[in-house]
Amino acid sequence: MTTLTKQPGPGLAAGGPQKPRKRGKTAAEFRGTGDLKIALFFIAPAMLGFVLFYLVPSIRGIYLSFTEYSILGDPEWIGTRNYERIAKDPLFWNALGVTTQYVIINIALQTALALGIALLMHRVAKSTLVRGALLMPYLMANVIAALLWFWMLDYQIGIVNQLIEWVGLPRVAFFGSEQWAIPTQALINTWRHMGYTALLIFAGLQAIPNSVYEAASIDGSRAVSTFWRITLPLLRPVLVLVLVVTVIGSFQVFDTVAVTTAGGPVNATRVLQFYIYQRAFNEQDFGYGSALAVILFVILALVAFIQMKFLRGNQSDLD
Amino acid sequence: MMNKKAIGAVAVAAAAALALTACGGGASGGAESAKGEISYWLWDANQLPAYQQCATDFQKANPDIKVKITQTGWDDYWGKITNGMASGTAPDVFTNHLAKYPDFIKTKQLVALDDAVANDKVDLGQYNEGLADLWVGQDGKRYGLPKDWDTIALFYNKKMAADAGLTAEQMGSLSWNPQDGGTYEKAIARLTVDKSGKRGDEPGFDKNNVAIYGLGLESSGGENAGQTQWSFLAATTGWTTTDKNPWGTHYNYDDKRLQDTIAWWASLAEKGYMPKLETTVGANAADNFGAGKAAINSSGSWMIGQYTGYKGINVGIAPTPAGPDGKRASMFNGLADSIWAGTKKKDAAIKWVEYLGSAACQDVVAAKAVVFPAIKGSTDKAAAAFKAKGVDVNAFTQHVKDKTTFMLPITDNAAKVSGIMKPAMDGVVAGKTPASSLTAANEQVNALFAK
């Protein structure tokens, strides 16, 4: 969620009326000693981290994607051969398909549920306790959440399957069957993230001025049409931001898969991030893994760009 | 939602930088290299007490040297070793596995022990036949001293067998063939019981509501050449995993004999005699046996402790079934201790490895009755120690005495081979693809060696 803190969404910023700049005077005092120095001083730690942990590794990752490298020994330059092999790799295309399936289920459900929860928080659940409780799953470590569900949904001993059998239905191999494995993982992460996503949307809801709603109710608008005609359009910038961030996160699903199905059954949950990990760390093929990672990076950049562009995420209808 | 690619890349970058500095180590000779603290890693927690005892005895005899033992579970073990090698923090000495060491040789991470073995006159004939040779690389050099070995047998629930009318003699003399499964399949069918109490070989048996499976299912075995799942069957047909072993360069998963074996094995799930693969995700085959949900589990000798440890379950151990030619077969795997090339305490490490490979230490391990030590005399002592605990391990040792063992396949690209074979084998065992689909996987595997 680093993206979020670095660039507060335009929707969030567009919230309240612009406050007069009280800082102007203070800034003027600094002007004498040179803003640049101060700015650099404050930027330096973040810059250092960015260069050290993002820029250099990314460049090195791109370099490694053109090599054959097994971590022990030296990388050997092989041009675009990794990319050529990926184009012909059925497991890559399978991973892309599986990941897309996961993202669609995860994002569609998560966004719809989060929107519903956010509306409830806005209108009904004013208690901080209830609002806080919604965030609980998100506070749980990914691996713990995955393991808990893995256990609860177990075919033999899982409580969910005990209940299903008790109702008189046949047991479901949630993680073991190829049809169920991806939807199950998508649902687990929907459960984990919907509270947090709801909170982001809730912030956006609060930024919609009450006067708009008052006007609507004076005009005799009913709740449903108010939602479709006022809430949703005015929420668009926030929703776009939420979508961009959650889609990127969703494409990078890894932990849940790694601690439960590890890519199986067969290749049903061999999502991109897991395939990258498998090739790089299990099979010691860091060149190939890096090339896969570069491709994922490009895909994510494209997806984010398209979402921002076509959903006009950087414009608000409030102005 | 951190950028995983970035993290991975940092690790790689950092590791690469440190790898350069690590090359300085490993110089032999000098007093410094023969004393001080050396680190030793192993993955099996059950064996830790035995080796801790060895270390204590060793330190008494060599007061200059201190051995620090670290135990790390199998899942994290190899990643930590590899990262340690790249970053210069790998252990001086570590327990090595046949499937893993070819890659370490290729990247020059292991110390050749030939000079030490010659100088210190280590008797390689003291080990069970074949074990020492497993650790000689393609370059003819020796990279480990054998510490233990394992074979495969059938763990079965004695009470269930008695209820099914199967005697210990019958269980001990099963036969198998890939066409109808022989008496092995008959016993499995007989031991399978559905929820209304009907046995697998009785009319009216409901294969969709099974209470006790005749045979437990651990996994498809695609990752490890079916070591505990089907290798002991396939090998009786004359099939071998690779063209030669060790250091084969051509895999034989396209062979009809293997595909027939796998097809037969997968058919057990279809018949209701073995759990479906999809129901075993996340389950532990041994624990299911312990919970009375399976009557027979094929497994390795390193699991004796666990299988005999379940409360209220009386466990018998039967040898693997005899194949079409009337002979049994078991994969023979052996671990060894190796020295990392980056060690700064090479001489002390050699001393420790030689001690681990000596009767003094292996007798200590034998007495704990956890595994079979590599030295012949220690193996006998271990069998006696198991017997004292009330466990008859003949089913395992018989393979070695009768020379019905075959070696775990040792080749390059082991991790990549399992990356291809696991999903392929899963598909067959799950009943999604026919056994003939292994031919396509085999082509992918062999393409790895075609460079």
Please list, in sequence order, all residues whose beta carbon lies within 8 angstroms of the beta carbon of residue B232, skipping any fewer than 6 positions away. B152, B298, B320, B321, B328, B329, B330, B331
Q: What is the pLDDT of residue A132?
A: 82
* Closest-CA residue to A261 (of B272, B8, B277): B277
Q: What is the pLDDT of residue A31?
A: 54
Residue B331: band (very low, low, confident or very high) from pLDDT cuts 50, 70, 90: very high
Please list, in sequence order, all residues whose beta carbon lies within 8 angstroms of the beta carbon of residue B63, skipping any fewer than 6 positions away. none
Domain boundary assignment for chain A: 89-310
Q: Angle B255-B259-B265 (CA atoms, 0-180°, nearest 5)?
A: 150
Q: What is the pLDDT of residue A281?
A: 85
* Mean pLDDT (whole number) for B180-185: 95
Q: Angle A47-A52-A54 (CA atoms, 0-180°, nearest 5)?
A: 85
In tens digits, chain A (319 residues) has pLDDT values of 333 344 444 444 444 444 444 444 455 455 556 788 888 899 999 999 999 999 999 999 999 999 998 877 788 899 999 999 999 998 999 999 999 999 999 999 999 999 999 988 888 877 888 888 888 888 988 899 999 999 899 888 789 999 998 998 888 889 988 889 999 999 999 999 999 999 899 989 988 888 888 888 888 888 888 888 888 888 888 888 899 889 999 999 999 999 998 887 888 999 999 999 999 888 888 999 999 999 999 999 999 888 888 777 667 766 6
**Cα A136 to chain center, whole Å?**
17
Q: Does B224 touch chain A (CB under 8 A)?
A: no
Q: Are A35 and A29 in contact (CB under 8 A)?
A: no
| Per-residue model confidence as pLDDT tens digits over B35-44 | 899 999 999 9
A147/B405 Cα distance (integer angstroms): 39
Q: Does A300 touch chain B (CB under 8 A)?
A: no
Contact B415 A283 (CB under 8 A): yes
Please list, in sequence order, all residues whose beta carbon lies within 8 angstroms of the beta carbon of residue A216, skipping any fewer than 6 positions away. A226, A229, A230
Which CATH class for the A89-310 domain? mainly alpha
Q: Which residues of B touch A1 (CB under 8 A)?
A: 1
Q: What is the pLDDT of residue B212?
A: 95
3-class secondary structure, B375 = strand
Q: Are B115 and B142 in contact (CB under 8 A)?
A: no
**Cα A191 to chain center, whole Å?**
13
Q: Are B267 and B429 in contact (CB under 8 A)?
A: no
Asked if the model's pLDDT at residue B429 lies above 80, the reply is yes
B113/B148 Cα distance (integer angstroms): 18
Q: How many CA atoms lie within 13 A of B271 on its CB side?
A: 25
* Mean pLDDT (whole number) for B366-392: 92
Domain B152-332+409-448: which CATH number of 3.40.50.11540, 3.40.190.10, 2.60.40.3880, 3.30.1150.10: 3.40.190.10
Q: What is the pLDDT of residue A176?
A: 87
Q: What is the pLDDT of residue B30?
A: 55
Q: State which residue of chain B sits closest to A59, comparing Cα positions.
A: B9
The rounded radius of gyration (Å) of the Cα atoms in chain B is: 23
Q: What is the pLDDT of residue B27?
A: 41
Asked if the model's pLDDT at residue B262 lies above 60, the reply is yes
Q: Which of B2, B3, B76 to mutate to probe the A interface, most A CBs <10 Å?
A: B3
Contact B423 A264 (CB under 8 A): yes
B152-332+409-448 has the same fold as B25-149+334-394: yes
Tokens 């790390």 belong to residue: B72
Contact A71 B15 (CB under 8 A): yes
Task: For CA atoms B22, B134, B354, B53, give the dihedral sign.
Answer: positive
Q: What is the pLDDT of residue A113?
A: 94
Mean pLDDT, all residues of chain B = 89
Phi, psi of A171 (to 5 degrees): -60, 150
Q: What is the pLDDT of residue A318?
A: 66
Amino acid identity, residue B321? P
| Per-residue model confidence as pLDDT tens digits over B123-175 | 999 999 889 989 999 899 999 999 999 999 999 999 999 999 999 999 999 99
Contact B9 A2 (CB under 8 A): no
| Per-residue model confidence as pLDDT tens digits over B54-105 | 999 999 999 999 999 999 988 789 888 988 998 899 999 999 999 889 989 9
Lowest mean pLDDT among A60-64, A166-170, B265-269, B435-439: A166-170
Tokens 């893995």 belong to residue: A150
- The fold of the B25-149+334-394 domain, in CATH, is D-Maltodextrin-Binding Protein; domain 2 (3.40.190)
Contact A150 B1 (CB under 8 A): no
Output b/e per residue, B126-153; b: 16+ Cβ within 10 A. bbbebbbebbbbeeeebbbbbbbbbbbb
Task: For CA atoms B92, B93, B95, B101, give the dihedral sign.
Answer: positive
Residue B1: band (very low, low, confident or very high) from pLDDT cuts 50, 70, 90: very low
B167/B84 Cα distance (integer angstroms): 52
Domain boundary assignment for chain B: 25-149+334-394, 152-332+409-448
Output b/e per residue, B363-395; b: 16+ Cβ within 10 A. bbbbbbbbbbbbbbebbebbbebbeeeebebbb
DSSP secondary structure of B46-67: GGHHHHHHHHHHHHHH-TTEEE
Tokens 């005749």 belong to residue: B214
A130/A142 Cα distance (integer angstroms): 22
Q: What is the pLDDT of residue B32?
A: 77
Q: Are B295 and B213 in contact (CB under 8 A)?
A: yes
Q: What is the pLDDT of residue B305?
A: 87
Percent of chain B scoring above 90 in pLDDT? 71
